[in-house]
């Protein structure tokens, strides 16, 4: 059986690894650890196809430890016990190096079973995960390990690997193999930073290539069919989803309509309407707020319309909402005001509700007292000086008018009525 091309051309040295220069360039901590042969427990965190397994294999070849590989999606606690049973025997005289892929699928008990042997040095762990290890990896295990984050590989870094794969396929092709000029670049771009996916695409394209005029030609149309949605990383409920949601929110706040539309399009491509709708609704109050109070009702109407239409038509009202929020004047006075008020409540700064504001039916029968509440609409311009905060908070200000036209107009209006405030 022929080996997969991605495995066949897997790098054997650190200099052959595609991408991850922040980890592997000369002088980087991980590079120094590997070159010096230092044995350390590590957690490799990052997207698929970015070199985690490749680097673990390189480390294994530079150590005298017996290498074991487990995938947490299929491994059991017994598998871990069987490996640990080799510690101190002739099967593992120098100790064990365990490469544990997708460690997030191990439960707490399974992860705990490794701790004793990591502590005494008889087992060195290299774990990999596509999810944030600080959420999914047991704290005691993390405290004994160093986390290294792997990044999606850029198209510029992937393209040489694609060309290398194409050359191998070209050398062993039964017919002359050629490709349209932009095919390598398109494959590198469409893989979404996943080198393995790019190499697999090369292999699939070469296997499916149709003979034409005595040779095989790889076309951009074929690349598009093979790539499909692979350039986009999206896992509902995973880091990629939350990263995209965060980027959408921050683009709206940063008044960048182009970026906002880009991240919105990612959700639309994934068929996720709920997440961007929540972000849009939140931004209307959090980031625009009193600078343009009508934004919240407009965005709500856009969201309701989108949910009624469904995809693909939902793209239009959601894009309208995103552009509105990104180009609207900004104010976080709502966020800051409720934040300060809630902080006081949490800190216990409350006090009794002033008598004037209490429910008129609060007194016991026969103990009624004059409430003393002044009805603002009975006074000129519908306002009268009156204490509303509890005595313990008298004079406290939570809301500060923003420096936008709408809030400054409101401030001017009330300054004329109320006069200078203490």
- Rounded to an integer, what distance in angstroms lies between the CA atom of residue 294 and that of residue 307? 20
pLDDT for position 259: 92
- Rounded to an integer, what distance in angstroms lies between the CA atom of residue 314 and that of residue 309? 6
Distance, C-alpha 196 to centroid of its chain: 21
Domain ranges of the chain: 20-149, 155-227, 239-327, 333-401
pLDDT for position 172: 84
278 pLDDT higher than 90: yes
Digit-coded pLDDT (tens) for 243-256:
889 999 999 999 99
- Is the alpha carbon torsion for 231, 237, 243, 247 positive or negative? positive
Question: Of 61, 114, 57, 107, whose CA–CA distance to 84 is shortest?
Answer: 114
Range of weakest confidence among 138-152, 170-184, 203-217, 232-246: 232-246
239-327 has which fold?
Zinc Finger, Delta Prime; domain 3 (1.20.272)
In the chain, count H helices and then E strands: 20, 8
Digit-coded pLDDT (tens) for 124-151:
889 998 888 888 888 888 888 899 999 8
Q: pTM to 2 decimals? A: 0.59
Digit-coded pLDDT (tens) for 363-372:
555 444 567 8
333-401 has which fold?
post-AAA+ oligomerization domain-like (1.10.3710)
CB 385 within 8 A of CB 402: no
pLDDT for position 294: 96
State which CATH number among 3.40.50.300, 3.30.70.20, 3.30.1490.20, 3.40.640.10 fits the domain covering 20-149.
3.40.50.300
pLDDT for position 64: 67
237 pLDDT higher than 60: no
Digit-coded pLDDT (tens) for 85-125:
776 666 666 667 888 988 988 888 888 888 877 887 778 88
- Rounded to an integer, what distance in angstroms lies between the CA atom of residue 183 and that of residue 206? 12
Digit-coded pLDDT (tens) for 335-352:
999 999 999 999 999 888
Q: With cut-offs at 50, 70 and 90, classify the pLDDT of residue 1.
A: low
Tokens linked to 200: 């697999």
3-state secondary structure of 189: helix
180 pLDDT higher than 90: no
Digit-coded pLDDT (tens) for 45-72:
888 888 888 888 888 777 767 778 888 8
What are the CA-CA distances from residue 280 to residues 189, 284, 299 (Å)?
Answer: 29, 6, 7
Return the CATH number of the domain spanning residue range 155-227.
Answer: 1.10.8.60
Q: With cut-offs at 50, 70 and 90, classify the pLDDT of residue 306.
A: very high
Q: Do domains 20-149 and 333-401 have the same CATH topology?
A: no
């Amino acid at each position: 059986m022929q080996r997969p091309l991605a495995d066949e051309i897997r790098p054997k040295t650190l200099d052959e690894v595609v991408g991850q220069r922040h980890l592997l360039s000369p002088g980087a901590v991980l590079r120094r650890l590997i070159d010096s042969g230092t044995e350390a427990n590590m957690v490799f965190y990052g997207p698929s196809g970015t070199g985690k397994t490749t680097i673990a294999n390189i480390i294994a070849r530079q150590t005298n430890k017996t290498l074991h590989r487990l995938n947490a999606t299929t491994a059991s606690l017994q598998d871990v016990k069987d490996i640990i049973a080799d510690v101190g025997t002739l099967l593992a005289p120098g100790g064990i190096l365990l490469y544990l892929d997708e460690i997030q699928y191990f439960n707490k008990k399974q992860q705990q079973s490794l701790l004793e042997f990591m502590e005494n040095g008889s087992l060195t762990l290299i774990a990999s995960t596509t999810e944030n290890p600080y959420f999914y990896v047991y704290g005691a295990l993390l405290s004994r390990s160093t986390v290294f984050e792997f990044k999606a590989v850029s198209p510029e870094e992937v393209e040489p690997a694609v060309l290398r794969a194409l050359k191998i396929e070209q050398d062993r092709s039964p017919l002359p193999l050629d490709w349209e000029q932009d095919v390598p670049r398109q494959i590198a771009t469409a893989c979404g930073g996943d080198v393995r996916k790019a190499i697999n695409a090369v292999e699939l394209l070469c296997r499916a290539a149709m003979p034409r005029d005595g040779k095989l030609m790889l076309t951009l149309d074929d690349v598009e069919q093979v790539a499909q949605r692979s350039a986009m990383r999206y896992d509902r409920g995973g880091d990629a989803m939350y990263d995209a949601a965060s980027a959408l929110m921050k683009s709206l706040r940063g008044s960048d309509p182009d970026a906002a539309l880009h991240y919105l399009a990612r959700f639309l491509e994934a068929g996720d309407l709920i997440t961007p709708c929540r972000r849009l609704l939140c931004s209307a109050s959090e980031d625009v707020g009193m600078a343009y109070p009508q934004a919240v009702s407009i965005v709500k109407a856009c969201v309701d319309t989108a949910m009624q239409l469904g995809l693909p038509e939902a793209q239009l009202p959601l894009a309208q909402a995103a552009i509105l929020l990104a180009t609207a004047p900004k104010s976080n006075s709502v966020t800051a005001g409720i934040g300060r008020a809630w902080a006081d409540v949490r800190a216990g700064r409350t006090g009794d509700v002033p008598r004037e504001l209490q429910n008129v039916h609060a007194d016991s029968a026969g103990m009624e007292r004059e409430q003393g509440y002044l009805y603002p609409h009975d006074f000129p311009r519908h306002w009268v000086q009156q204490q509303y905060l509890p005595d313990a908070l008298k004079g406290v200000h939570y809301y500060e008018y923003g420096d936008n036209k709408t809030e400054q107009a409101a401030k001017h209006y009330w300054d004329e009525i109320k006069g200078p405030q203490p």
